[in-house]
Amino acid sequence: MTARLLLVRHGQTVWHAENRYAGISDVPLTDAGLRQAEELARWAVARSREAPVHAVVSSPLGRARRTAGPAARALGLTPVVHEGLREADFGWGEGRTIAEMTADDPEKVRAFQEDAETGAFPGSEPPGAVAARVCAALREVAAEHDGRTALVVAHNTAFRIALCAMLGIPVGRYRHVLPRLDNAAVTEIEVSGDRTALRALNVPTAVQQGAADQTATAAGLAG
């Protein structure tokens, strides 16, 4: 049997405007992020009419839980929090912008941008550890919903690293292979045992989105 997972990055946060690295920091959603959560709920209901969504699972961080909440309510489901889905801890980079870090130590930033695994920020959770944790969480969700579909709301970097690991791509290349996952967009995978198939990447859930929201969403590149 195969489980289908609809992976969704949380809505826009207050750190997006400055593109700060929000890892374990519990940063709230903006008004635009709250609207994205409502758009996701409408999308989930429409999707469920075609193929039922059986579960909503979320990272423990508030921005993910707040994004998942409207979809769960709209589907008549109780969201489940999975600790393994939390975002990576960026250590030295947590809460900072690339410009701020470059001013302090351009060599550390260069090493990270070249290979995020060998050049991981000091004090950060290594990409390999992130991959092990998030892949295990996603496979647990898949095993619990074998033959069904689950909506999983978590984070930009956590998902990109896990996707690379599950698809056989070196995790240190995640920033190059998957530059970003958009806020409240859906990436769909099928999981069967240790096999993973990518069915869709970064599909928008909003039918229409204002120019200001698009600009703010595009700013969310950190990770």
Give the model's pLDDT for residue 11. Answer: 98
Tens of pLDDT along 51-90? 999 999 999 999 999 999 999 999 999 999 999 999 999 9
Distance CA 82, CA 63 (A): 14
Q: State how far the Cα of 164 lies from the Cα of 171, in Å rounded to an integer.
A: 6
Burial string for 130-139 (b: 16+ CB within 10 Å, else e) reads bbbbbbebbb
pLDDT number for residue 222: 55
Residue 214, pLDDT > 90, answer no
The helix/strand/coil state of 133 is helix
Rounded Cα distance, 90 and 11, in Å: 19
pLDDT mean over 147-152: 98
Q: What is the pLDDT of residues 13-41, one digit of tens each?
A: 999 888 999 999 999 999 999 999 999 99
pLDDT of residue 1: 78
Helix (H, G, I), strand (E, B) or coil at 3: strand
Checking if the pLDDT of 203 tops 80, the result is yes
- Which burial class, exposed, middle or buried, applies to 163 when counting CB atoms under 10 A from its CB (0-12, 13-18, 19+)? buried
Convert 7-64 into a string of H (helix), E (strand) and C (coil). Answer: EEECCCECCCCCCCCCCCCCCCECHHHHHHHHHHHHHHHHHHHHCCCCEEEECCCHHH
pTM for the full predicted model: 0.92
Q: What is the DSSP letter of 181?
A: -
Cα–Cα distance measured from residue 163 to residue 30, given in angstroms and rounded to the nearest whole number: 27
Average pLDDT over residues 135-158: 98
